[in-house]
Structure formats: C-alpha cells, structure tokens
Amino acid sequence: MINMISENTPPHLLPEKLDFFVLSHGKWPHLKQSLNSLAEQFDCASGTVTVFLTKSVSPPPIPWAAPTLWVRVATAAKARNIALDQARYTNVLILDEDVILPKGFLQRATATLKQNPAVDLFSGSYQSSPESSYWGHAYNAISRLWQSRGGYLWHPKIVAGIMLVRKGFARNSRFPSDPTFGGEEDLFLEQCRANKTVYLVSDQLDVFHNWREPFSTFARRAQQQSWKSTTPRDQRCFFRFSDLRIFFEAKIPLRLVPAIFIFFVIQRLNSLCYAALSAVKGRWLG
C-alpha cells in the first residue's frame, strides 16, 4: 500500500481509492519514465501499484521508495483483464509502459470520476512526448485520427494504453484472450456496448505516448492493424480515401503527412493482399 494523500489535497479530489496497473513488455527505460511520472503525483491519490511483465526477465531496480508488486503474465490481454477484475473493489488506472502522465494528471482523473458518476469507463488520447521518434509522432497522430473517426463501432474510441475504470465495473466485459494486434479495443468496446457500459473519452485524461520506435516497427504496426486485425475483414483499415478530410480538420503537422500516408498505403496493400489470398483460397476449396 502506498500512502499518497496530501494534507493540502481538496476534499472533492480525494478518491475512494485508486490502484495502478502498468503493463510492461520489458522496455525498461520507458517503464522507469512511466513510473517516475506516477511517483511525482503521489500526493494526489492513494492505492497500490502493480507492474505486469509479459517477458520472462528480472525487473530492473526502480528509483522510488514505494513498494511495487511485479506479476508475470502471458499476454497484454490477460494483464488488462486482471486489472479489470480488481475494479470490483477499487477504482483502477491501467497504463502501458510507454505512457507518461503529465503533471496534475491524477488530480484531473479523480475530478473526472467525481464529475461523471454515471460513467464506468474512461480513456484519453495519445499526445507525443518530446522523446518520441518521428515515426512515434506520426503513429500518435494516427491514433488520434482513429479515435476521431470512431472506427466501425461508434465515436469516439478508447485506447487500451490509458484506461480509468470505476469501482464495480462489469466483469463480463473482457479483452479477447488471444487477439492479433489492432482489434482488441474494438472487441472490448463491443462487449461494453452489449453490457450497456457507459464510457467517456476525455481530454482531461490525455497522456504522453513515449513511442521511440523505428520505421520497421511503424511499418509492422500498419501491417498488423490491417489484414491481421481481429476486426471484420471489410473494416480492417483505420482509414479510407473518403476520410482524408479528417487530416485537415485535425490540423496534422505537414511533416507527419508523408509518414501517415505510408502507414495508410501499407494498410491498404495488406488488405488487398488478404482479399486476394482469401479469393484464391475460396476458389481452391470450392
């Protein structure tokens, strides 16, 4: 247990309790920055910190005094579902290791919980951190465009890397046990909608996404989020040509437009290849 209540914290900002769950794939520099951004705000909330590790490696020393529980899990989906289970007893904040909390985040998160008593699930958007690579800035812009477009379910969308879950959250809303990357939020939200879960995407929960990956990872994400996605085959691309107006409405920096276009082209080519392979397979089996 971590005592993070300040004597100067206004009563309306005091949560019942807030537990923190951070998902790590072994990127220690990212994880340290994420936990440090959390530690800097310990006077704004109270709760426990659990770090899920998806890799069988020893965790590094974390430069803070607070005790941290380390748990090994097989997949990101399993880690998030464990955190959702914990929401039966307490308010829960679920983060990815490459998320950095801006100053005052926990105060705003607590206020958001207080101001929206009918909402069970909250999320924010990814803003680029100064350490992000060029491809990271582009990927974060794509994520915000994706949220604005609303995908094939409804508008707006949550990102799994930053979720605030209210105590008593419905347990039958789960992340798919073995998803291919690119559709887990869609499938999870589909269950939430079926369970009549009220959710909110708020700019008060925006975080910095410390995405330092090179072009190879950027291209692989584009490929994963097209024909390998778990969403229906005809709805796998983030964008279509008819959505180009969103680029102008979102005021995307011109320097990121080439990268976003490359991402879109990779997705489209992969979708076309998948469609062609499916047609050939259908004729061969037929």
Answer whether 38's CB lies under 8 Å from 44's CB. Answer: no
Predicted local distance difference test score (pLDDT) of residue 227: 46
170 has a pLDDT exceeding 50: yes
* Rounded Cα–Cα distance for residues 212 and 30 (Å): 9
Q: What is the pTM of this model?
A: 0.78
Instruction: Kindly state the tokens that stand for 72.
Output: 């090994």
Helix or strand (DSSP H, E) at 126: strand 126-128
Q: Which range scores top for mean pLDDT: 55-69, 109-123, 246-260?
A: 109-123
Closest CA to 71 of 86, 88, 59: 59
Predicted local distance difference test score (pLDDT) of residue 89: 86
Q: What is the pLDDT of residues 272-284, one digit of tens each?
A: 777 777 777 767 7
5 has a pLDDT exceeding 80: no
Q: What is the pLDDT of residues 111-166, one digit of tens each?
A: 899 899 999 999 998 888 888 889 888 888 877 777 765 444 445 678 888 999 99
Answer whether 69's CB lies under 8 Å from 6's CB. Answer: no
Of 182 and 279, the structure prediction assigns the larger pLDDT to 279
- For β-strands 162-165 and 126-128, DSSP reports them as unpaired
Other C-beta atoms lying within 10 Å of the C-beta of residue 202: 18
Average pLDDT of the segment spanning 12-39: 79
* Rounded Cα–Cα distance for residues 104 and 280 (Å): 55
Domain architecture of the chain: domains with CATH: 11-212 (3.90.550.10)
Q: What is the pLDDT of residues 202-249, one digit of tens each?
A: 989 999 998 888 888 888 877 776 644 444 444 444 455 555 555 665
* Rounded Cα–Cα distance for residues 161 and 163 (Å): 7
Predicted local distance difference test score (pLDDT) of residue 182: 54
* Rounded Cα–Cα distance for residues 174 and 157 (Å): 16
Of 107 and 185, the structure prediction assigns the larger pLDDT to 107
- DSSP letter for each residue of 135-172: HHHHHHHHHHHHHHH-TTT-SS---TTEEEE-TT--TT
Percent of the chain with pLDDT over 70: 72
- Tokens 């310990």, located at residue: 42
179 has a pLDDT exceeding 80: no
Closest CA to 169 of 114, 112, 119: 119
Predicted local distance difference test score (pLDDT) of residue 44: 44
